[in-house]
Structure 1
Amino acid sequence: MAYRHREFHKLENIGWLRAAVLGANDGIVSTSSLILGVAAAHATHSSIVITGMAGLVAGAMSMATGEYISVQSQADTEQAALATERTEPESDMPSEHRELASIYVDRGLDASLAQQVATQLMAHDALAAHARDELGITDILSAKPVQAAFASAISFALGGLMPLLVVVFAPVDQLILFVGIGSLLFLAILGGLAARIGGANITKGIIRVTFWSALAMGVTAAIGSIFGTLS
C-alpha cells in the first residue's frame, strides 16, 4: 500500500479560527466596554453585574445570528455557482475542457500536459475539478454556517465571561482599573494565541488587538463618565 504524506497547513484552521477569534475578541471588548461605561456613570455594583450579563447574552446571540446569515449567504452563492457549473459540462464539454486546461497552463503546465490533466480530472469528477480549480471551492474552505455561528456564540460568551468575572471578584472601589487592565491582558493573550495558530507575527497581533480594544474601552468609559456627571 502506498504511503500518502499528509501535511497540515495553517489555512485548514482559518474557517473556525476566524469565527472563534472574532467572537472571543468581541466578547471581551463589548462586555468590558459596556461594564466600564456603566461603572464610569457611577452605577451600583449589582447594576453593573446585571448589565454585563445582559450584554454577554445579547452579544452572543447577535454574533451567532450575524455569522450564520453571513456564512449562509456565502454558502448560497457557492451552491448557485456549483449548480451552474454542474450543467455546463453536459451542454458544452469541449469548452469546459479548454477552460480547465487554460487554468493549468496559467499555473505553469505546458499545453499538452494541461490537456492531459484536464482530461483525466474531468473523467474522474468534472464538477469537483471545476469547483476546485475554477471556483476555488474545496471541502476545507467551503462555507459552514452552523459551525461558524456556534463558534461565534460560544467564543463570544467565553470572552465576555472574563471581564464579568473580574467585576464579580474585583474590589468595588477599583473596579474600572481591574476591568480595564484585566481585559487588555486577556486580549493580549488572545491576540498572541490567534497569531501563533494562524502563523502570523505574534507581537503585531498583540499590539493590533490591544490598541484598538483600549481605544474602544476608553471611548465608552469617557461617554459613561460624561453622562454620569450630567445625570
Structure 2
Amino acid sequence: MLTRHREFHKLDSVGWLRAAVLGANDGIVSTASLVLGVAASHATHQSILVAGVAGLVAGAMSMATGEYVSVQSQADTEAAALEKERTELSENPKGEHRELASIYVGRGLEPTLADQVATSLMEHDALAAHSKDELGLTDAMSAKPLQAAFASALSFAVGAALPMLVVVLAPNEKLIPVTVVASLLFLAFLGGLAAKVGGASVKKGVIRVAFWSALSMGAAAGIGALVGTVV
C-alpha cells in the first residue's frame, strides 16, 4: 500500500510569510515615522495620538484596497486563461493532448510514457491537468482577492498598533527616543523571524530591516522638525 509523503521545504512558507511580514513592517515603519514626524514638530501628545490612529486606519484600508485590486486583476487573468483552455480542449482535444505530452517530454519523460501520462491525466480531469502543467495554476496558488485584502489590512494594523502602544504609554518628553528604540526592536524581531523561517541569514535580515527602517524614521523626524520650526 502506497502512502503519501510530502516533504516540507522552507519555500512552502515564503509566500504567506513574505506578505505578513511586509504588511507588519509597513505598519510599524509608516506609523512610527508619522508619529515621529508629528512629535518632532512639537505637537501635543493628543495630536500625535490622533495622527497615529488616523495613519493606522488609512494605511490598513489602503493596503486592503491595493491588495484587493491587484489580486482581483490576477484572478480575472487566471479566469480568462482557464476559459480559453476550456474552449481549446473542447475544440481541439487531440492538439491539447499533444501539447500536454510535449510538456512532459520537456521535463525528461520518454515520448511513449509522456503520452500515457497525458492520456491518463486528461481522462481524469483534462482542464485540471492543463491548468496545472500548462498554465502553472494550482488551488494553493490561485488568486483569492478578499483573503489577500483582509490579510494585508490585518498585518498592517497589527504592525501599526505596536508603535501606537508606545505612544499611549510613553511620556511626551521621551516619546521620540522610546518610539525609535521600540520600533527598531519590533522590526529587527520581524526581520530575524522572517529570515529564520525562510532559511536565510538571521543577522542579515535584522540588519537590512533595521537600517532602512531607521533611515525612514530619521527622514520623517527631520522633516517634522523642519516644518515645526518654519511654520
- TM-score between both structures, scaled by the size of structure 2: 0.95
Q: Distance in 2 between matches of 1:158 and 1:90?
A: 48
- Give CA deviations for 1:122-156 in whole Å, capped at 9, x if unaligned: 11111111111111111111111111111111111
Offset of residue 17 of structure 1: 2.4
Give distance in 2, aligned partners of 1:132 and 1:112.
21
Q: Deviations over 1:96-137 (max 9, x none)?
A: 111111111111112111111111111111111111111111
> Could you say which residue in structure 2 is the equivalent of 1:82?
82
User: 1:1-24 CA deviation, whole Å, 9 max, x = no partner?
Assistant: 642223333444344323322211
Aligned length, in residue pairs:
231
2:136 is the counterpart of 1:164: no
Aligned residue type for 1:134: E
Match of 1:107 in 2: 107
Distance 1:105 1:2 in 2: 26
**Once the two structures are superposed, what CA deviation does each residue of 1:149-193 show, in whole Å capped at 9, x if it has no partner?**
111111111100101111111132121111111111101111111
Q: Secondary structure at the match of 1:16?
A: helix
Residue 181 (structure 2) aligns with: 181
Equivalent residue, structure 1, for 2:60: 60
Q: Percent identity?
A: 70
Distance 2:2 2:101 in 1: 28
CA distance in 1, matches of 2:64, 2:22: 11
Aligned Cα root-mean-square deviation (Å): 1.4
3-state secondary structure, aligned to 1:8? coil
**Letter paired with 1:143:** A
State whether residues 53 and 164 of structure 1, in contact with CA within 8 Å, keep that contact through their aligned partners in structure 2. yes
Q: Determine the C-alpha separation between the residues in 1 that align with 2:10 and 2:127.
A: 26
Matching of residues 209-228 of structure 1 within 5 Å: 209-228=209-228
Instruction: Check whether the contact 1:41–1:226 (CA below 8 A) recurs between aligned residues.
Output: yes
**Structure 1 unmatched ranges of 5 or more:** none
Distance 2:13 2:150 in 1: 16
SS at match of 1:136: coil
Aligned 8 A contact 1:15 1:141 in 2: no
CA contact (8 A) 1:12 1:140 kept: no
Which residue does 2:98 correspond to in 1? 98
Q: Which amino acid aligns with 1:4?
A: R
* Correspondence 1:41 to 2:5: no
